[in-house]
Amino acid sequence: MIALTYKGVMVLGEQRDGVLHPVTFELLARGRELSDKLGEALSCVVLGCGMERFAEEIIQRGADIVYIVDNPMLRRFLPRPYSTVLARLMKEVKPEIVLAAATTQGRTILPVVAAKLNTGLTADCTGLDIDPVDRTLLQTRPAIGGNVMATIKTPVARPQMATVRPKSQKPLPPDKTRCGQVVLKTYESGIFETCEELVDVVKDRTQDVNVQDADIVVSGGKGLKSRDNFRMVEELAELLGAAVGATRDVVDLGWVSYPHQIGLSGRTVSPKLYVAIGISGSVQHLAGMQTSETVVAINKDRDAQIFKVADFGIIGDLFEVVPELISKLKERSNTKAGREG
């Protein structure tokens, strides 16, 4: 009965200040895999103001149907109108699976929507698949502080809902030959009313480059031995225009704050270049960075697990290797500045 009533996969697109956020394309790639296995349509819903201009690109990235809910009250993210509109749309469309990013927006509104629809929600998934036997959604996420991976199913209630960790899936390249349907949804004005008010947005000032959005990440582990030594990671990152990452041990020791933590219990990153310094390579850490395009590891232990995912490995004392790298980069920078001068 459920299978006959609910159909298709829906992803929640995100916008920030009227611009479609790249995490939307990651969700579309996830949704496309699932919808292809089910043989059903993939839809994407975008809430905001003036967002229709992004519909074509959303289709090129994998969607079959794009639902646009356009209203000035949706220009900035507020939990109450967003969750109310989304729940209303889902009741009308009846998707079998609903995905959102495990961002501030997704983590805030999907639990509310799940409660409104009396269904289940699995948060912060790193893996999704379809059970070949009963066609239910297999939702894999870290549990017990990241020490085990749990796979969860929602056998009865629909839709099956999950938030997905950003950077755990690469977006599909745009396909300009794809065609799809754009549906503009309108609702009565009362649905957008709220007692909430967005007063201010406070940004994380502990890092110049957000670790999840960075093209280059320089990350340090407990092998650096002290907070003072960890400054080498920060200096190298600054020279490379990179974000600073860290293992859970380093964060627990208080050398850097939690927004820098990479791994199952922290952030998942997928930069073009990931430099791992003094990191042994626990399973929990590898799960947060193994989709990086190029991994360079520096460790004196030739049997360190980090070398199993590294494209380039430097077996040596980091206290000799890293200062040499910093020196060479400074030398190159000074030479370049002299030529330009």
Residue 205 lies in a domain: no
Q: What is the largest CA-CA distance in the chain?
A: 74
What integer pLDDT is reported at residue 1 of this predicted model? 43
DSSP state of 50: S
Query: Percent of the chain having pLDDT more than 70?
Result: 94
Task: Identify the residue with better confidence: 205 or 68.
Answer: 68
Strands (E), 53-147: 65-70, 97-101, 121-125, 127-130, 137-143
**Within this chain, do residues 178 and 280 fall inside the same structural domain, yes or no?**
no
Question: Which phi and psi angles does 58 have, rounded to 5°?
Answer: -60, -40
Find the CATH number of the domain harbouring 82: 3.40.50.620
Alpha-carbon gap, residue 62 to 57, rounded angstroms? 9
Instruction: Please give the mean pLDDT across all residues of the chain.
Output: 89
Residue 34 lies in a domain: yes
Residue 202 lies in a domain: no
**Tally of structural domains, the chain:** 2
Residue 198 lies in a domain: no
Residue 49 lies in a domain: yes
**Within this chain, do residues 176 and 249 fall inside the same structural domain, yes or no?**
no
Predicted TM-score (pTM) of the model is 0.74
**Within this chain, do residues 21 and 152 fall inside the same structural domain, yes or no?**
yes
Q: Are 297 and 314 in contact (CB under 8 A)?
A: yes
**Within this chain, do residues 187 and 239 fall inside the same structural domain, yes or no?**
no
**Within this chain, do residues 90 and 181 fall inside the same structural domain, yes or no?**
yes
**Within this chain, do residues 188 and 223 fall inside the same structural domain, yes or no?**
no
Q: Model confidence over 230-284: pLDDT tens digits?
A: 999 999 999 999 999 999 999 999 999 998 999 877 888 889 999 999 999 998 8
Domain extent for 297: 216-340
Contacts 24+ apart (CB under 8 A), 137-140: 137/34, 137/97, 137/162
Residues in the chain: 341
Q: Model confidence over 38-78: pLDDT tens digits?
A: 999 999 999 998 999 999 999 999 999 999 999 888 888 88
**Is 150's pLDDT higher than 80?**
yes
**Within this chain, do residues 34 and 150 fall inside the same structural domain, yes or no?**
yes
What integer pLDDT is reported at residue 92 of this predicted model? 94
What integer pLDDT is reported at residue 188 of this predicted model? 86
Q: Give the domain-ending residue among 136, 157, 192.
A: 192
Residue 41 lies in a domain: yes
